Amino acid sequence: MTERWFPDEMPMPAANAETVGWWEAAADHRLVVQRCTECGRTRHPPGPVCPRCRSTSAQWSPLAGTGTVYTYTVVHQAFIPSLQDRVPYVVIAVELDGADGARMVSDLVDADPDEVAVGLPVEVAWEDMGPELAVPRFRPASGPGRTRTGTRP
């Protein structure tokens, strides 16, 4: 099992035919984005048809797992009881490198909430929430000269 940042009681994903492949890749700690095989447009969350060329043919395109924070919020209210000891936590929208503008919702972990900013470089950090179920969180990207502060459990 990987490091844990969120409690077991977090809502777990449900999937349909269009999205299950994304969660299967996540279980293997592979971050992917759905890409139209006809015109190359990416889309997230995954869907049955390309909104640009209307092709129904798509593939799972592997990503490097890095990106930048597009926007964020620091959540102070524990919307589920087991988050009472976990707040404040940082929800981010990540602009994913190599995904042609596709963004995803995730969390900033291993960082003090004060560290978050629009444009912060981040890298994926997988959290195994159960057998065959992994959720991609993000931590500040490790880079030369970068120091970390305030690691959170």
Partner 1 sequence: MVGPVNAPGRSGHGRPSGRGRRGRPGGRSERGRRGRDACLVGVGETRYAKWGGITGTSEYQLAVEAILAAVADAGMTPDDVDGLASFAEDRNDATFVAADLGLPELRYASLSWLPGGGGACAAVANAAMAVESGAAEVVVVYRSLCQGQFRRFGQGPGNMSARVGPPRVPHVRRATSLLEAHVAFTMPFGMFSPPIAYAMVLRRHMHRFGTTVEQMGHVAVTTRAHAARNPRAVMGDRPMTIEDYLASRMVSEPFRLFDCCLENDGACAVVVTTAERAADAAKVPVTVLGSAQGALQGFGHGQYSNVGMPDDDYTSSGARGVAARLWARAGVGPGDVDVAQIYDHFTGLVLLSLEDFGFCERGEGGPYAASGALAWPNGALPTNTHGGSLSEAYIHGLNHVVEGVRQMRGESTCQVQGAETCLVTSAAGVPTSALVLGRP
List of residues contacting partner 1 (CB under 8 A)? 6, 8-16, 18-20, 23, 43-45, 51, 70-77, 79-83, 89, 91, 93, 101-107, 118, 129-133, 135, 137
CB closer to partner 1, 14 vs 145:
14
Which one, of 112, 106, 104, lies nearest residue 127 by Cα? 106
CB closer to partner 1, 63 vs 144:
63
What is the closest distance, in whole angstroms, from the C-beta atom of residue 144 to partner 1 in the complex? 26
Buried residues in 56-92 as b, exposed as e (16+ CB within 10 A): eebeebebebbbbbbebeebeeeeeeebeebeebbeb
What is the closest distance, in whole angstroms, from the C-beta atom of residue 41 to partner 1 in the complex? 11
Residues linked to residue 91 through DSSP beta bridges, in sequence order: 73, 107
User: Please, which residues have CB within 8 angstroms of residue 145's CB and are 6 or more apart in sequence?
Assistant: none
CB closer to partner 1, 1 vs 145:
1
Using alpha carbons only, what angle is made at residue 119 by residues 116 and 141, rounded to the nearest 5 degrees?
Answer: 70
What is the closest distance, in whole angstroms, from the C-beta atom of residue 108 to partner 1 in the complex? 10
What is the closest distance, in whole angstroms, from the C-beta atom of residue 98 to partner 1 in the complex? 14
